[in-house]
């Protein structure tokens, strides 16, 4: 083999064949991904306060997100859905007002109001579920369906709490008459 290399005229022009380091690194990462993740974590914590490194990392991430928009969007959505699921799991899986249990209809309500102000403080409504988790799911929140939450925000009450009892037919008929008048005219 060595005799063959030296007899090749190209050997003296380009040098001996190089070791494929990239392929070796890929194989090593595939065989032990946890070791690679731990190294990456340690590297991040060692360099996170260095402004030059931070700027390079931000530039790389911006470029990466531009090239892989769909994957980044999917990962972001998946992360947000996981945070929302944790919050709903903690505060209850059903609407505290009407009992709706379909996950897609549920949201988290500020019991004492102030959700708009809180959202402005956080800077983005997507950060809300992350804030809840980071603060240990504090008191003052509950699970409501979007209909009940919207009604409380706009009207100050939920229609489920204003429906008269079935045993009082005169109130029920008056309510039905009022509803018919509103919708017909």
Those residues whose C-beta lies under 8 Å from the C-beta of residue 166, and which sit 6 or more positions away, are: 172
Kindly report, residue by residue over 10-43, the tens digit of the pLDDT: 555 665 566 677 888 888 889 999 999 999 999 9
Q: CA 176 to CA 179: how far, in whole Å? A: 5
What DSSP state is assigned to residue 156?
Answer: S
Q: What is the mean pLDDT of residues 98-125?
A: 87
Helices (H) and strands (E) in the chain, counts: 11, 2
Tokens of 159: 């229609």
Helix axes 33-47, 21-31, angle to 10 degrees: 100
Residue 91: other Cβ atoms inside 10 A? 17
- At 38-64, the pLDDT tens digits run 999 999 999 999 999 999 999 999 999
pLDDT, one tens digit per residue, over 133-179 is: 999 999 999 999 999 999 888 888 888 877 544 444 444 455 555 65
HSE-CB for 33 with a 13 A CA cutoff: 1
Which residues are CB-contacts of 118 (< 8 A; sequence separation ≥ 6)? 110, 128
pTM score, two decimals?
0.62
What is the residue whose two structure tokens read 């060692």? 46
């Amino acid at each position: 083999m060595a005799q063959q290399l030296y007899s090749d005229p190209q050997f003296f022009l380009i040098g001996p064949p190089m070791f494929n380091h990239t392929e070796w690194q890929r194989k090593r990462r595939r065989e032990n991904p946890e070791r690679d993740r731990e190294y990456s974590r340690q590297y991040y914590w060692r360099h996170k306060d260095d402004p030059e490194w931070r700027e390079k990392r931000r530039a790389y991430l911006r470029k990466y997100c531009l090239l892989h928009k769909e994957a980044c969007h999917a990962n972001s959505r998946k992360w947000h859905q996981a945070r929302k699921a944790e919050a709903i799991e903690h505060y209850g899986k059903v609407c505290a007002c009407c009992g709706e249990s379909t996950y897609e209809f549920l949201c988290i309500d500020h019991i004492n109001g102030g959700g708009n102000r809180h959202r402005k403080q956080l800077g983005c409504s997507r950060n809300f579920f992350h804030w809840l988790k980071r603060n240990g799911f504090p008191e003052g929140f509950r699970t409501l369906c979007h209909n009940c939450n919207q009604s409380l925000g706009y009207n100050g009450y939920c229609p489920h709490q204003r429906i008269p009892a079935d045993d009082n037919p005169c109130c029920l008929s008056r309510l039905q008459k009022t509803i018919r008048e509103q919708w017909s005219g």
